Amino acid sequence: MKFLVVGSGGREHAICWTLAASPLCDAVFCAPGNAGIAEVADCVDISVNDFDRIVEFARDRAIDLVVVGPEEPLVKGLVDVLTEAGIKAFGPTAAAAQLEGSKGFMKDICRKYGIPTAEYQRFDDRNAARAYIQEKGAPIVVKTDGLAAGKGVTVAATVEEALQAVDEAMADGKFGAAGAELVIEEFMEGEELSFFALCDGAAAVPLASAQDHKAAYDGDKGPNTGGMGAYSPAPVCTPEIEARIVEEILNPTMAAMTAEGAPFRGILFLGLMITAAGPKLIEFNVRFGDPECQVILMRLMSDLPSALLAACDGVLSTFDLRWYEESALAVVMASKGYPGSYDKGTPIGGAESAVDDPENVFVFHAGTARNGDGALVATGGRVLNVCAMGDTVAEARARAYGTIDRIDWPNGFYRTDIAWRALEREAG
């Protein structure tokens, strides 16, 4: 089979890497890809939003399956366009992708179908939003309704911080059209969990659990990011918790989307808070998380193309997935200044030679390119995902950070406390 992966980040590198290892795979292409992806796939210079060229390329190369990685082309309807062109594509339709494309839509679905989530209100008027915050007090959470590349959420510890978030979105236009409407919701206490399911419109098969680290700095401090590290499995996801997630959130969501005329096919990500009252939904994503995708696919024993095809063909009810029991951990190396402004084109040394245990360690590229001399340079905010496997989280963590020590990138930074919750549990 020939595959085309759409995207250019660490998630897409992991998908290409996993597809390329399948016995079903004859070729993997990636549009547009990055320097790391070029080692495992043929990169083609096509933007993720250039739907016409993606369709043309898929036809010319007789692509058997297109796998869409990022949220933006999904929300804009790339899967619909490919399907209409007779090209098999993995991912949700634009109608189903509203679960991520509009936080207001997602919250309204939860309210309508009784899916547990935080109390909320929607606002398109700045003064009304500010008044609601002053009435409710802090801590409180302010979210842009639309896509904001993982940066549109403010967990405000004070009323002043929440009011500033409203002003930045609605008065200053910090997030463009995505911030024209806001969702303001109650702050939930508990432990976060990333839960993924492979969906075919009717059936949903849970994937391995993971835990992400959104804050930029150690101790969960600093601004929210797209994710600074992850590990799998997440100890907080006990069999009892998983059963509740499936029964109370996943299955009702699948039924709700079918009832709304938009059956969900693809990867559904449930961002959850495990509260004293049980699991509650924070958000949906309609694709693999990043960097959770990297650690989940490192642990996948089953054949990925077979799983994706089963979802596309609606036969997941008879499908099962197998996983390696080892733990996987990813540490994100990001450009200094991220998630704010940062320099591009800074040189990275030693990324290729840093891995001394290729059976257990892999460096996925998220924002890299080769300059005119062929040297590796950073082109994005999140740049490298240093991933490792181990019998324990502590062992995987030691391998990942040991690899980072051998990478020479003065303009990069990373968190040093990835998986601290799991380490506390392992220590007893």
Domain annotation for the chain: domains and CATH numbers = 2-91 (3.40.50.20), 125-180 (3.30.1490.20), 191-318 (3.30.470.20), 327-426 (3.90.600.10)
Distances in whole angstroms, Cα of residue 269 to Cα of each of 33, 58, 209, 341 = 23, 27, 10, 28
pTM: 0.93
pLDDT of residue 318: 87
- Residue 400: its pLDDT value, please? 98
What are the φ and ψ backbone dihedral angles of 427, each rounded to 5 degrees? -75, -10
- Give per-residue pLDDT as tens, 269-294: 999 999 999 999 999 999 999 999 99
> Please, what is the end-to-end C-alpha distance for the chain in angstroms?
47
pLDDT value for 148: 82
| Per-residue confidence (pLDDT) for residue 427, from 0 to 100 | 76
Query: Can you tell me which residue has the tokens 């494309």?
Result: 101
Q: Is the bond preceding residue 291 a cis peptide, omega within 30 degrees?
A: yes
User: Do residues 93 and 199 make contact, with C-beta atoms less than 8 angstroms apart?
Assistant: no
Q: What string of pLDDT tens digits covers the 428 residues of the chain?
A: 999 999 999 999 999 999 999 999 999 999 999 999 999 999 999 999 999 999 999 999 999 999 999 999 999 999 999 999 999 999 999 999 999 999 999 999 999 999 999 999 999 999 999 999 999 999 999 999 998 876 788 999 999 999 999 999 999 999 999 999 999 999 999 999 999 999 999 999 999 999 999 999 999 999 889 899 999 999 999 999 999 999 999 999 999 999 999 999 999 999 999 999 999 999 999 999 999 999 999 999 999 999 999 999 999 998 999 999 999 999 999 999 999 999 999 999 999 899 999 999 999 999 999 999 999 999 999 999 999 999 999 999 999 999 999 999 999 999 999 999 888 887 76
423 Cβ contact partners less than 8 Å away, ≥ 6 residues apart: 393, 394, 397
Q: What is the pLDDT of residue 357?
A: 94
Q: What is the mean pLDDT of the chain?
A: 96
Per-residue model confidence (pLDDT) at position 426 = 76
* Contact of 143 with 183, CB cutoff 8 Å: yes
Sequence-distant (6+) residues with CB within 8 A of 71 are: 97, 100, 101, 147, 285, 286, 287
**Cα atoms in the Cβ-side hemisphere of radius 13 Å centred on 331:** 28
What is residue 157's predicted lDDT score, i.e. its pLDDT? 93
> 297-306 pLDDT, tens per residue?
999 999 999 9
Q: Which two tokens stand for residue 48?
A: 């993720």
pLDDT at 428: 67
Calpha distance 428→426 (Å, rounded): 5
Gap between the Cα atoms of 412 and 36, Å rounded: 17
